[in-house]
Structure 1
Amino acid sequence: MAPKLQADNEARYLDDIQTLDTNGVVATEGATELLAQLAPEQWAIVTSGPATLARARLRAAKLPLPRLLISAHDVKQGKPDPEGYLKAAELMRAEPEECLVIEDSLPGIEAAHTAHIPAIAVGNTHPRAELKSAELWIPSLKLLSIIDTEEENEIALAVSE
């Protein structure tokens, strides 16, 4: 469309604009409460976007920053490729099957499944039918809560109605 423009520069420009524009960015319902139930080493974020954008939006939404953030710059292929999720599992010293992905997009669910990680779809950005390949679909994160187990380094997740 604009062959004289350099794609890398334009992409950086768009990333910068999105990073600066956090007006109206709020936490997904239930995200604050769910993350408060987890220790920092028990969760990570895997995003196909740049880390600076993810951090800016987390701050704007008043959510904690993760200890582990896998961004587009950390992988060769973005979602639906499983590389990001596999890298996060490895850095968390966990087998993929021991992890759980909470996603709001079909490419993210596909990436989780290819990595052999079960996925919960949160239906607040896409229609339920679009996310039907996930093991579970929920309309909101506020329906999830963490349950302590007797096992060390193990947690369980409860889903309320």
Structure 2
Amino acid sequence: MLFDNDGTLVSSLESVRRCWTRWAGEYGITAEQFGRVELHGRTAAEVAADLLPAAVVPEAVARIEELEVEDVPNGGVHLLPGTRDFLDALPADRWAVVTSATRRLAEARLGAVDIRPKVLICADDVTRGKPDPEPYLLAARELGVDPARCVVFEDAPAGLRAGRAAGMTTVALATTHQAAELTADLVVKDLSALSGLVTGEGMEISVRA
């Protein structure tokens, strides 16, 4: 079971809005320019590269990481419905978190809600982020599992494309996008719609009545 973090396990929308709005202002990016860029499910480096000259990108990426990490204690991060119960039903060696955030930011947000995965794949660990399959393939390798036996849980189209490209089953959560915008093997509102059961052959996922 491979989970995206922001928008899948936790909601960080309040924090993201605060931090990226401040960041855009610092770098002279207009609301119109910022509105044309897809933010969710992508790395900060990719977003910055869409908006700024290449020479400025490293500094800008470091700045947004600093802003977002510092903002975590301000209460803009919380568990989404069903997250705790669903994760508690899984053996620790059967699931991982795969995020487009940096490790420093991912650990800060996960720590704020007391989620501590044994395997955490971040933007720092890969050369190509979502929608490339590399992050999910790396997570499967770290868990020692055939990618074809993995299930990806995502809220963003880019992440779902990554899961499909990795040859994995995909479950879309309509937490940040409308269900009609999401292409997956299964689409549900959030993890509270699902239950997990450990069996001798693996895990069974079912939709709650």
- For the criterion TM > 0.5, the same-fold answer is yes
Letter of the 1:88 partner, please give it: A
Count matched residues: 157
- CA deviation after TM superposition for structure 1 residue 3, in Å: 5.2
> Which residue in 2 is equivalent to 1:78?
129
- Measured against aligned partners, the alpha-carbon deviations of 1:63-117 in whole angstroms (never above 9, x if no partner) come to 3211111111100100000000001101111111101000000000000000000
2:184 corresponds to 1:134: yes
- TM-score normalised over the length of structure 1: 0.91
Instruction: Give percent identity, aligned residues only.
Output: 36
Extract unaligned runs of 5+ from structure 2: 1-27, 29-51
Partner of 2:205: 157
CA deviation string 1:32-84 (max 9, x = no partner): 11111111111101111101111111122x23211111111100100000000
1:25 matches 2:77? yes
CA distance in 2, matches of 1:95, 1:63: 28
Which of 129, 139, 146 lines up with 1:95 in the alignment?
A: 146
Instruction: Report the Cα offset of residue 150 of structure 1.
Output: 3.1
The offset of 1:5, in angstroms, is: 6.6
Tell me which amino acid in the other structure corresponds to 2:116: L
Q: Give the structure-2-normalised TM-score.
A: 0.71
Is residue 32–residue 63 contact of structure 1 (8 Å, CA) maintained in 2? no
Poorly superposed stretches of 4+, deviation over 3 Å: 1-5
Q: Tell me the secondary structure at the aligned position of residue 118 of structure 2.
A: coil
2:96 matched residue in structure 1: 44
CA contact (8 A) 2:100 2:129 kept: yes
What is the CA RMSD across the aligned residues, in angstroms? 1.6
- 2:65/2:105 contact within 8 Å kept: yes
The DSSP-based 3-state class of the residue aligned with 1:10 is: helix
Taking the aligned partners of 1:149 and 1:45, their CA distance within structure 2 comes to 22
Structure with more of its chain in helix, by fraction: 2
